A and B are shown apart, each in its own frame.
Chain A
């Protein structure tokens, strides 16, 4: 078992005031068969809004809120402790829906061709998934700025470059072509920096964490925040507001042993 302390904060700065700001945050990590979350604390600014919790159909905890008053900065901060009690999530049998393609992982010609050229030879699902992960890692170049949150797996593989989110999406698309149930994960993995994206591969009654951008199983310092079929199911922050304004987001996070 490993004990971790985590912190995550994000700040959205708007070019002009916005109002009637409604938001859904998937920023609270949930305890599962791999991680136990202790003493989670959150703060949201401005503080004059209404905040309440909800839950989505993927099992994520949501912080919902509505801030009517005009504001030009919106921020939230989450911290707490986590105990990593297992190398895989043993809490649930992977649902069938994770075997079907989702908006951002729909395979096109490029992914189908790649799959047919790299069809795994192993027997077990986990070994097959890791073969696909290897092939993908060799074909992709980690590069920021070439993709954004709306980039599909197909587009990312076609240009051969992207970030952790793109690696995750391509990997999910390939696994699903292979009949493997798998899901997208947002979380914290580094001593400091931004949030990370990885995946979980379902096999038997377990979910195995696989980090395609680093071509390995996840380590003990990974803390899952939320999951879904792909990124579009579980953005950490999603909001809608009144105001002709563009927002700039800065994110900081840290994970440390204690």
Chain B
């Protein structure tokens, strides 16, 4: 089953026509670019996925319990499992959210967990994205187009249907809705994922809104209508980041936020999806502690492994990192989207020395990881040749009444044959992810 869908070119043309784009900021200006699709799917056997599913549910449940704990009793700190410093010094920990219990106690409703598969078949967690993980719409729409261009393939191959993402998303919003309608809040069309915002709104029936459509009165969030009327909003799937959400609580200069939305949220009158303050759990420094959280909250061993990670904050780890820098990958804990990632193997002698100094001086700012030799997936290039590129998988986990893993995912591959960086903001492409229904 190497090339079940042989229509890459055609599907990319359709994606362009449907406006499936990805926006990036480069040198201060906004460019929309197509997100190149490769039609050879990544195939995950049923048994492999069942194991992934168990591990992902376990991980996301523990992360949600961690968030609930650090924003209330902080038992994991007083019990000495996570050092206090790693919580309070994290830029993702928002003091403004302390003591606030979100509707139904759920913090991360939509989690994007990035994994890679090593050459020996073992899956490793690369990072957790609990703020605004984007990208589920791309495999959804690509699958839809593949079905149109190659209907036979889907009649014959035992691929699990991925169209239930929309239902999962809607159920997640409905479950935490505090009374009123669901809305998807977008910063507007100059956002990297605007296509996705409008796609989900159309499919789930939520209203697609910008900040000026909403206002708060008496700690209740309303949508304005054209006759000067108002409709209560019960859940906001917001696609703007925490610090821009409410200019009266966070950045005063935010022009895309809604004044007093945090007061409505604190009063328990509206659900924010995902909850503000989730950065406290997906910080690259906190990642190291996730297997410990799973043991602490669930009394279980972690099913899915972290990539071997070192915290220069700890003296033993720092020594190892300084001694082995040339074979490690260094990540800046405050950066996202593939920025702030450097490989020791790419550094000159002088750069290695500079980095050793920087890591010694700012030990809390970086983590170091062993480079995992993850598998290459075949890509068909413009000339029709097959080349091998590094690829990861973003799995989407939705937490409502229960925690469920979407049986698909976003497989991203690196733009260059030799590159390990697969983030779409760095110019890579994507594939459909097929989860087989049986072996």
Contacts and interface: CB of A to CB of B under 8 A. Distances in A.
B259 A22 contact: yes
Contacts, number: 63
Given A62-B263, A240-B259, A56 B84 contact: no
What's the dominant secondary structure at chain A's contact region?
A: strand
Contacts of A50: 217-218
Q: Is the interface of B mostly helix, strand, loop or mixed?
A: loop
B247 to A, nearest CB: 5
B216 interface: yes
Contacts of B96: 56-57
Given A97-B88, A238-B248, 19 more contacts: A22-B215, A22-B260, A23-B248, A24-B249, A50-B217, A52-B219, A54-B260, A55-B266, A56-B96, A64-B263, A66-B217, A96-B84, A99-B88, A100-B88, A100-B89, A238-B252, A240-B247, A240-B248, A240-B252
A233 interface: yes
B: interface residue count bin: 20 to 34
A233 B95 contact: yes
Interface string B13-52: 0000000000000000000000000000000000000000
Contacts of A100: 88-89
Interface in A214-258: 229, 233, 238-240
Contacts of A64: 216, 219, 248, 260, 263
Nearest to B71: A57
Interface of B: 74, 77, 84, 88-89, 95-100, 215-219, 247-249, 252, 259-260, 263, 266-267
B175 to A, nearest CB: 25
Interface of A: 22-24, 50, 52, 54-58, 62, 64, 66, 96-97, 99-100, 229, 233, 238-240
A258 to B, nearest CB: 35
B96 to A, nearest CB: 5
Given A22-B248, A24-B260, A54 B267 contact: yes
A29 B100 CA distance: 22
A52 B218 CA distance: 5
A94 to B, nearest CB: 13
A209 B97 CA distance: 26
B247 A57 contact: no
Nearest to B77: A96
A44 to B, nearest CB: 15
Contacts of A238: 248, 252
A134 to B, nearest CB: 28
B387 to A, nearest CB: 48
A68 to B, nearest CB: 9
Contacts of B98: 57, 97
6 contacts: A24-B248, A50-B218, A56-B96, A57-B95, A97-B88, A100-B88
Nearest to B96: A57
Nearest to A229: B95
Contacts of A57: 95-100, 266
Contacts of B88: 96-97, 99-100
Contacts of A97: 88, 95, 98
B24 to A, nearest CB: 29
Given A24-B260, A97-B98, A52 B248 contact: no
Contacts of A56: 96, 249, 266
